[in-house]
Amino acid sequence: MVPPPARASRDLAHLSDEALLSLVASSDDGALGELYDRFGGVAYGLALRILRDESLAQDAVQEAFLGVWRTADRFLAERAAARTWILTLVHRRAVDLVRREDRRRGEPLEGAPEPAARETVDEEAAVRFQRRVVQEALRQLTPEQREALELGYYGGLTQAELAEQLGQPLGTVKSRMFAGLGRLRELLGQAGLEESVSSS
């Protein structure tokens, strides 16, 4: 019943992320492995950025992919790309862990030291391209919007903690997050990130 791995991975490479998820929903671990190959690097980079600890970041990625395994059947009801759903699970796990461990850090992207991992030669060209597109879009936000998104998304802070740290009213923080995410979505849409991701 288990196909030879080389054969399977070559065939699975042609399937869309969404088709792979539906295979995962039928307990196909080969499909889970293929999704891990596609998103594991981005997931681990994100978890490392939030948690700043390799062992905790591995825990977050492991729990998130096991979450994909256990709940893939629910994905069909989600109005999201498979990539969005998977990265949302990874982020959620990392934030849960960072809050539990109280390792939260509040530096914005520019001020923070880069995590140890650098762009590696074997990093997929598609991932590098997407990173450039997202970074370029981030640069086009107002500094206040960017700060709110970065502290919120990478810092693991709650909106109330963020408001306190920034010395701004809660309402202001919420509006910056809302406007920032909305604008980011527009910019990414213009840059055609959707197409580049789904065809990669």
Residue 129 CB, shortest distance to another protein, in Å, is: 9
Binding test (CB under 8 A) with another protein, winner from 101, 185, 190, 192: 185
Task: Give the type of residue at 49.
Answer: R
Per CB under 8 A, does 172 bind another protein?
no
Angle at 40 between CA 25 and CA 17, to 5 degrees: 40
Binding test (CB under 8 A) with another protein, winner from 51, 56, 97, 184: 184
Per CB under 8 A, does 45 bind another protein?
yes
Residue 76 CB, shortest distance to another protein, in Å, is: 4
Closest CA to 174 of 184, 162, 192: 162
Residue 144 CB, shortest distance to another protein, in Å, is: 14
Under 8 Å between Cβ of 71 and 49: no
Per CB under 8 A, does 38 bind another protein?
no
88 vs 168 by CB, closer to another protein: 88
Per CB under 8 A, does 182 bind another protein?
yes
Binding test (CB under 8 A) with another protein, winner from 91, 97, 104, 147: 91
Q: At 53, is the secondary structure helix, strand, or coil?
A: coil
Distances in whole angstroms, Cα of residue 175 to Cα of each of 135, 147, 168, 172, 198? 21, 12, 11, 5, 31
97 vs 167 by CB, closer to another protein: 97
Say if residue 151 is exposed, middle or buried (CB neighbours under 10 Å; 0-12, 13-18, 19+): buried
Under 8 Å between Cβ of 158 and 96: no
Per CB under 8 A, does 190 bind another protein?
no
